[in-house]
Structure 1
Amino acid sequence: MRRRVLVVLMIYSTVVVLALSVPLAVLVGRERAQRFGENRAAAATYFAELSSREDESGAARIRQSAQRYDNLYDEGIVVVDRAGRVRAESGLDVERSDVQQAVAGALRNQRGNLPSSVMPWSRSSVLIAAPVGGGTQVDGAVVIEASTDSARTDVAIAWMIIAGGALLILVTVVGIAVALSRWVVRPLTALSSRVQSFGDKFHDRLPIDAVAPSQMHTAYLGPPEVRELSSAFEAMAGDVESATAAQRRLVADTAHALRNPLAALRIRLDVLGMRVPDAAAESHLRTTQEVDRLSAVVEDLLVLAAAETPSNQDATACDVGATIADRVEFWSSTIAVAGMVAHVEGPDGAERLLVALPEDDLIRILDALLSNATKYSGSGSSVEIGHRASATAITIWVADTGPGVPADELPKVVNRFFRASSAQGGGTGLGLSIVHALTERAGGRLQVSAGRPSGLRVELHVPRIVS
């Protein structure tokens, strides 16, 4: 796989380098051609102006200037009048067909075509023509055979620099790609080995081709290492799901098996309590409380196991406002006995807000949250139960003004059997775990935060059903 990753990176890097260097090389050729054309056009214009200023008596001066230009730049030049007669000539045969064509074009007031770009393989010379005179009056023509050797050399040197820079970039990219491919592939290989070794503890290793039909869409995509990792991960995920399901069944079966013996033990303790002497009354009471605590743990474990089991039934619509009002009324006496005050908050209007949560689950959630509030908030505090709706979700919250939970313990309150250090009195530590499981099973999410100025705020965000 490392080789394939390296090849992909190199192909991509080569394309990027070429996409940058080729336009740069073309731009260099065009820029050099522009400077070359401007320089030679200026020379041709100079001789055209000189020829227009000098009459026949100044022909010697024009020939001297043409000779000096030829000697200095080694570029032939010819100057003719409007009848095509040569006024000055140096290093250029006026009888050449291409020169004749350039002269004819200049006499028609046409300037020669300058090269748009210079390449290392361009022609060694080009003819540059300029008319003598201006406007509609053409008194002659100037033709220069300009050498492109210097321009082609400059372009070749610039191209070699660009090629060297591109090669240096590619070499650098190769080093980076080698390190990057090793960095990417090594953890993947190690993960594949680790996943495979984990799966071998549960079942024999299967070849890559022996994949379940449901996994065929991933078995034939990607490199062999990725396919092997995918196959091993699918097998491991199946093992983990099976182990999780077995754990849930074990908890549920154990709790169910303990329920009846604990109920029978509680009845016998009640019967025994009528004959317990006063000296053993306190021990009997503590034993009864311990049995009650164990019974509550068993009941909560059964509820939690049911809540963590995925539901195959379609979501049931539940009227949030009506359910909250019913539970507040049910808990009103308990709240009053606890010395607390309850407030209900909700949207104005008579619109029924339906949530994708069975009514029994919402009742269980509200009962757990109100039970915690009455147990741990303390006398003189208040509890607020409310809900609000958005386009796609309904938010339900229960907030109290009690002592709350320390900030470092807030992320742990939904863990099984966890009880905050500020909690006083009895409890199983499973209430918020049940609320969390029921909320997630409905496709929602649970958020626990500190209340303001004190207390605890629990919010549920559950999908809304629009009627």
Structure 2
Amino acid sequence: MTADRWLRGPLRSPLGRRLLAAFLFVALSSVAVLTTAALVGTAQGLTSAQQNDRREAAARAAEAVATAYQQADGWAGADLNAASAIAGAAGARLVVQDDDGRMVGPGRGMGPGMGGMLTAANATMVDAPIVVGGQTVGSVRLAFTTPAATGRAVAWSWVLGAAAVALLTALAAAGYVTRRLTRPLQAITGAARRFAAGEPEARAGLAGPGELGELAAAFDTMADDMVRADQDRRRLAADVAHELRTPLAALQAGLEELRDGLREPDTERLAALHDQTLRLGRVVQDLADLSAAESAALSLHRTDTDLAEIARTVLSTHQARLDAAGLHSGTDLAVALPVYADPDRLHQAVANLLANAARYCRPGDRVTISGHRSGDLVVLEIADTGPGIPADELPHVFQRLWRGAEARSVAGSGIGLAIVRELVTAHGGTVSAAAPTGGGTTITIRLPLAGADR
């Protein structure tokens, strides 16, 4: 992959361009500062080292001249070849002057001012005194003609080469990081646009680094939830329409018969039509109860109460209905079941369970309410010996409008158990259904023991 294609992805988005520009600005600034510091430091170090070397060369040359002066007992006949060799090795020209400023070397017969003529073209000169017997008898001047920029040029080439490598590395890192940051965002943006355009299967489907990966996963989860919620809404609308269609059709047919004079408005016919209106009313009331139960967490009036006492009260209230259905009832509530809950909401939940038992059980069946404590929970069980629920339907019994395979032969809207689940969940509890081996159905409610959830 070429650099142009590699960077094309990040450069395609405004955020990618901004991130890449920011990374490059930081990289360029860092490289520029470090390069400048390296060059300045190198130049100063080379200059300082070179000056030290030149001063040492001048000092050695002055010592050699002093030795020659002592051996010749003066400037006349002094051998300056050793000093000239030291100056030549250092890349400089040697000029020796006596204490009066007259040039006495490297040649003889040079008067004052000749040294200046020899060294005027040289920008760098280093002087050192000639000391013999504790007295200064002259001076040595080294005129350096060798360019001092050789070492500096080498340093510049290395520093600039390193800066170029660092810049390319920074460019590659900036492009990689920018690509890693913008790619998940582009995927999420594209998926969001497709989802908004009516493509429910659109997902980001990308595992990005850190928080970006979590964002992509959260978007996919949100899209799944929205699709599921839309499906539930459509299914609910279809189920409600199905529940309302039968009594409305019966009402319409009966009223048309009365309007056209095909039937007399006798008591029997009016009672049948009245039953259909009651059925409509029950469906509408069940929907209202479900809506209220789903928002129960916002309207719970909690207090310390006894779930066992609530169950006994509900059973007493529904005893006539259970008797009318030909059912036997009883309780096994030997211990108190203290909970911190809304008594009215729990009364409604238990009442719905008993109403379900009266609706689905056969004459002669038995309904038993029992309870006990289990650690930090209180457990209430409503068990019956009715026809039971098929195992494949147990996971669905608490769904809205679920009535199972016997829906056509049994009256009801299929909302009662859904209301129970919402009410129990609002209290921080759970509800489950089981079909014992011996037959019947057992609904189990588990709620936090009073004090355990506070």
TM-score scaled by structure 2?
Answer: 0.45
TM-score scaled by structure 1?
Answer: 0.44
